[in-house]
Amino acid sequence: MAGIIGRKIGMTSVFSAEGKNIPCTVIEAGPCVVTQVKTEEKDGYSALQLAFDDKKEKHTSKPLLGHFQKAKTTPKRKVVEFKNWSTEYKLGDVITSEIFLEDNWIDVTGISKGKGFQGVVKRYGFAGVGGQTHGQHNRLRAPGSMGASSYPSRVFPGKRLPGRTGGDQVKIINLRLLKVIPETNLLIVKGSIPGAKGSYLIIEK
């Protein structure tokens, strides 16, 4: 879908007309530069490649430098493709948060916070063994039985076990856009979104 690249600023809260305190997230959305226009004739599909967030030339490879120079822009850190645009854009055009309207619904994709190696209670929400009776002292957060005994004598693939948690790409759909501040390219979105402060986000209409 048509959209823009952004950065998570942090969370805050706003009051509704009814006086309710609504938790929301502040996103810096753009400005993004069109660094490539893909067409059905040349590439087999139509899309716009957008780039966001400046970086130094010395940290950019020569092929990428040439790619950004074609669009007459400085090197960027984040590059993402977006499809299904209703408006036509040319190479080098700048897209800002003005493509969004207040009180609309958007989808936001980000990389969730990494939690490291965690047990099944934190990783999958297991309830743990109830109570501490009969001398039990260290089995409260254990996963419990893993399956059959003598047959098939193995743990089936896909069994939910302890392991590394977080650091995954997560998409939250149907978030309400409370406010658009075009002067500073800020979006105020109802609720929380994945990722740490300063992490990149993909915001789609």
Cα distance between residue 117 and residue 204, in whole Å: 32
| R_g of the chain computed on alpha carbons | 23
Measure the CA angle with vertex 65, ends 8 and 35; round to 5°: 60
Task: Kindly report, residue by residue over 34-91, the tens digit of the pLDDT.
Answer: 999 998 999 899 999 999 989 999 999 999 999 999 888 999 999 999 998 888 888 8
Measure the CA angle with vertex 84, ends 180 and 195; round to 5°: 50
38-71 burial, b at 16+ Cβ within 10 Å, e below that, comes to: eeeeeeeeebbbbbbbeeeeeebeeebeebbeeb
User: Which helix (H) or strand (E) covers residue 2, if one does?
Assistant: none
110 and 63 both lie in a single domain: yes
* pLDDT of 130: 65
Residue 59's CATH number = 2.40.30.10
In which band, very low, low, confident or very high, does the pLDDT at 173 lie, cut at 50, 70 and 90?
Answer: very high
27 and 7 both lie in a single domain: yes
105 and 120 both lie in a single domain: no
Task: Kindly report, residue by residue over 134-155, the tens digit of the pLDDT.
Answer: 666 777 888 888 888 888 888 8
134 and 66 both lie in a single domain: no
152 and 193 both lie in a single domain: no
The number of folded domains in the chain is 2
* pLDDT of 2: 86
95 and 28 both lie in a single domain: yes
11 and 67 both lie in a single domain: yes
105 and 173 both lie in a single domain: yes
154 and 122 both lie in a single domain: yes
179 and 199 both lie in a single domain: yes
Provide the residue range defining the domain that includes 173: 3-115+169-204
Cα distance between residue 130 and residue 113, in whole Å: 29
* pLDDT of 103: 86
Q: Are strands 105-111 and 94-95 parallel, antiparallel or unpaired?
A: unpaired
pTM for the whole thing? Answer: 0.83
73 and 139 both lie in a single domain: no
38 and 77 both lie in a single domain: yes
Cα distance between residue 93 and residue 32, in whole Å: 8
* pLDDT of 106: 93
